[in-house]
A and B are shown apart, each in its own frame.
Chain A
Amino acid sequence: MSSDVPGTVKLFFREAIARALREEMAHDARVIVLGQDVGRFGGAYREFDGLYAAFGGARVRDTPVAEASIIGLGVGAAAAGLHPLVSITYMDFLMLGLDPLVNYGAKVRFKTGGRLAAPLVVKTTAGAKGQGVAHSQCLEPWLMNVPGLKVVAPSNAADAYGLLKAALRDDGPVVFVDHKRLFPTAGEVPRGETIVPIGRAAVRRRGSDVTIVTHGYMCRTADAAADRLAENGVACEIVDLRSLAPLDAETVCESVARTGALVTLEEGPTACGVGAEVACRVHEALGVRRIARVGAAPAPVSSNPVLEAACLPDAARVVAAVRRLLLS
């Protein structure tokens, strides 16, 4: 869905999120926001700025540090007819709310034979940015195989805006995963109301030598790696997944069918990661065996900047992985 207003406007990542919520809250009175610091404070990243003033404390509710309780509350409120967005500031602490999210939110439709649903959005921020082992994790793979649960991950302001709108209109539950390092960025966002459909990847860059499949902040790392590889005559195609569940295997496979080589890239660990699922789907569909996965080293991500950098994938590591794959 895209309105008739042409052109784009440049917004901070946080403004794209606030805009999506403001629009959805304006035309659907069932949408409410729950979480720590979402009210007058406007959100840990100012991503809820202006919502409390516009919609009041009944619809934008500050909660205590109690992730299991607020997700449980969100599931119940959703089953009762609201469309809540529950904010979990750090994805690491989503772990505390997995029981209500997975055992109730994702299953209530199945348990009740369709009589109840849980149109809930859990918005959470993943990723490492100097805050240490329990405030840096990327746990998307933990969610991707839960039947009944959708997972989306924007890499830029326009997709944050469009995917959040889609999530708030979905039957749910949907986990919307953004990234700490995306908040300092800005991007062009359509002026008119626009929805980015869940389940559709986007090709960010066209190339013929290798397909890099990635999501979230790592799209920028992939782009930097592709720039360096282009200087040496290697043309990379970059597929930004945008949705992790459902995952758009069709777009990925169409790309790898042309390039013949796949490198998956994620900030989280490779073991049982996003890339593992992508690699299997590609191999099952195409029989392609030129596949490599890039992700974090198998260690907790330290707050020490030297150790953090040593753990996380960067453009140099992606370049090395592409070179190794193409020469093998």
Chain B
Amino acid sequence: MISKLAVPGPIEDVEELRVLAWHGAPGTAFAPGALIVELETHKAVVEVRAARPGILRAILCEPGSWEKVGNALALFSDDPDETLPGSAAALPPWIVEFAVT
């Protein structure tokens, strides 16, 4: 099943975040706790980490792009070969942990 990694929240006081850096590429497998992507708020950096194992299948937002809480950032799945859908709209969420540093 393909799931979407969305900008996590809520984060107090935050309207928009900038995508800073991806710590993997399509095909990378993430173990629980592994850092997936760093996002920047007006005050701090948000570290988004995997809460369960899975494979990054597609990156939807390049570093430097701006996203609101809830926007789709990437697609994940358990199966590396599962076909990707045309749109991320109806996908279930990929569960993550996030820390604001």
Contact = CB atoms under 8 A, between A and B. Distances in A.
A13 B42 contact: yes
Which of A12, A13, A14 has the largest count of B CB atoms less than 10 A from its CB? A12
Contacts of B41: 184
Contacts of B14: 184
B25 to A, nearest CB: 25
Contacts of B18: 10, 12, 186
A185 B15 contact: yes
A281 interface: no
A41 interface: no
Given A184-B13, A184-B15, A186-B16, A14 B66 contact: no
B42 A183 contact: yes
B42 A184 contact: yes
A14 B42 CA distance: 7
A46 interface: yes
A249 B43 CA distance: 37
A13 B43 CA distance: 11
Chain A's interface size range is: 10 to 19
Interface string B21-43: 00000000000000000000111
B43 A46 contact: yes
A10 B66 contact: yes
A13 B41 CA distance: 11
Contacts of A14: 42
A186 B15 contact: yes
Nearest to B16: A186
A14 B66 CA distance: 16
A300 B42 CA distance: 28
Interface string A19-51: 000000000000000000000000001100000
Interface in A163-215: 183-186
Given A12-B18, A185-B15, 11 more contacts: A10-B66, A13-B42, A14-B42, A45-B42, A45-B43, A183-B43, A184-B13, A184-B14, A184-B15, A184-B42, A185-B42
10 contacts: A10-B18, A10-B66, A12-B42, A13-B42, A45-B42, A183-B42, A184-B13, A184-B41, A185-B15, A186-B18
